[in-house]
Amino acid sequence: MALLLPAAVTLEHAPALLAQLGAAVEAAGPGPLVIDAAAVTEFDTSALALLLEARRQGAAHGFACELRGAPPKLMELAALYGVESMLGATPAA
């Protein structure tokens, strides 16, 4: 199962994205939930909260979450907050 993040992942968008995340977690079958962040261009710390919640929900349901295509600036923000290693990220090409 995959969750495609939109261009903007900010506090304004967090409630809708959290609902999408919940639906993706419920629909996920065996294997990881892949979160594709390649389109993300605008974000704030709520993006980190969403990604950490995805990992928490995945673990509660017995599967991993993989973050793919995360923009370098998002990973820099994650490093600043000390959560980079928790995201299971594959950097953008």
Residue 7: what pLDDT?
97
Over residues 13-40, mean pLDDT: 87
Alpha carbon distance, N-terminus to C-terminus of the chain: 21
Q: Which residue has the tokens 């793919």?
A: 68
The token duo for 10 is 């900010």
What is the percent of the chain with per-residue pLDDT over 90, rounded to a whole number? 59
CATH of domain 2-91: 3.30.750.24
Does the pLDDT at position 90 exceed 80?
no
Does the pLDDT at position 91 exceed 70?
no
- 10's CB contacts (< 8 A; 6+ apart) are 42, 43, 44, 46, 47
Cβ-contact 6, 40 below 8 angstroms: yes
What predicted TM-score, i.e. pTM, was given to this entire model? 0.88
Residue 92: what pLDDT?
55
Name 33's bridge partners.
Answer: 65
Does the pLDDT at position 66 exceed 60?
yes
